[in-house]
Amino acid sequence: MRCLLSFLLAVCFLSALVQSLHCPEKSEINVTCDKAGTQKYTLIGSKYYFVGESKVNWFNAVHICRRYGGDLATIQNATEMHAISTYLISLHYDANRWLWISGNDLVTVRNFHSIATGMPLTYFNWSAGQPDYPNLEHCMHLWLKGAEFKMNNWQCNEKAFYLCERQNDARCWDGF
Ligand SMILES: *[C@@H]1O[C@H](CO)[C@@H](O)[C@H](O)[C@H]1NC(C)=O
Ligand SMILES: *[C@@H]1O[C@H](CO)[C@@H](O)[C@H](O)[C@H]1NC(C)=O
Ligand SMILES: *[C@@H]1O[C@H](CO)[C@@H](O)[C@H](O)[C@H]1NC(C)=O
């Protein structure tokens, strides 16, 4: 019995490996969620994202991303930041296109956490002079400053577009 299980596990593992070798990542995926419908995500760097085309407050942006199988984006390093900025600029998004992301310091001022992972943020790429207004502006967004998108904090109940990333289903596991 144990041998059979091991064998099956090995087969699964190998087929996953072969698949990952032979199937290049798709440049876009269609994610369908019951009731919400289908949302197209685009590969930017190594993750899938979509840009919300309506202006909503930060809380509503959290809901909308979730509804479509995503979360507000948690940007983890300069590589991701650069890929996202380049992508947004390629779409001709200008300085008026502010996009909510997952960071917020609603619990403790100046202690920014991701609403998506619940973890403290470790990567920041603030535009000059940011973050400001510590007791007023608790939610993070991207905006175009000069030639690149940067991070800023703003009032959560203001309305902006938003950047959702496909939920990382491997974030947690149940064990074996
Ligand atoms: C996603 O859906 C659109 C139609 O809505 C289709 O044209 C496209 O090929 C689909 N993409 C993938 C990767 O399935
Ligand atoms: C940045 O994060 C991505 C995950 O999105 C990871 O694949 C990559 O190795 C990281 N790059 C650096 C330089 O840490
Ligand atoms: C800041 O973000 C830009 C993209 O907007 C990126 O090119 C740059 O490498 C980032 N810098 C740091 C220090 O993360």
Q: What domains are defined for the chain?
A: 33-166 (3.10.100.10)
DSSP state of 69: T
Cβ–Cβ under 8 Å, residues 159 and 173: no
| Residue identifier of the C-alpha nearest atom 6 of ligand 1 | 30
Bridge partner residues of 72 (DSSP): 164
Q: What is the mean pLDDT of residues 135-148?
A: 97
Please report, as a single letter, which amino acid is at residue 17: L
Closest C-alpha among 62, 70, 73, 61 to residue 33 = 70
Residue 25 has a pLDDT of 82
Q: What is the mean pLDDT of residues 122-139?
A: 98
Ligand 2: distance of its center to the CA of 75 in Å?
Answer: 10
Instruction: Read off the pLDDT of residues 20-78 as tens digits, 9 standing for 90 and up.
Output: 454 568 999 999 998 899 999 999 999 999 999 999 999 999 999 999 999 999 999 99
> Ligand 3 site: residues with CB under 6 angstroms?
78, 81-82, 85, 125, 148-150
> Ligand 2 site: residues with CB under 6 angstroms?
46-47, 76-77, 79-80
Band of pLDDT at residue 81, cut at 50, 70 and 90 = very high
Ligand 1: distance of its center to the CA of 100 in Å?
Answer: 26
| Total residues found in the chain within this entry | 176
DSSP string, 88-137: HHHTT--TT--EEEEEE-SSSTT--EETTT-SBP----BPTT-S--TTT-
Q: What's the rounded Cα separation, in Å, for the pair 36 and 172? A: 24
Ligand 3: distance of its center to the CA of 93 in Å?
Answer: 17
Helix (H) or strand (E) holding 2: helix 2-22
Q: Among all ligands shown, which has an atom nearest to the Cα of 125?
A: 3
Inform me whether the pLDDT recorded for 167 exceeds 80.
yes
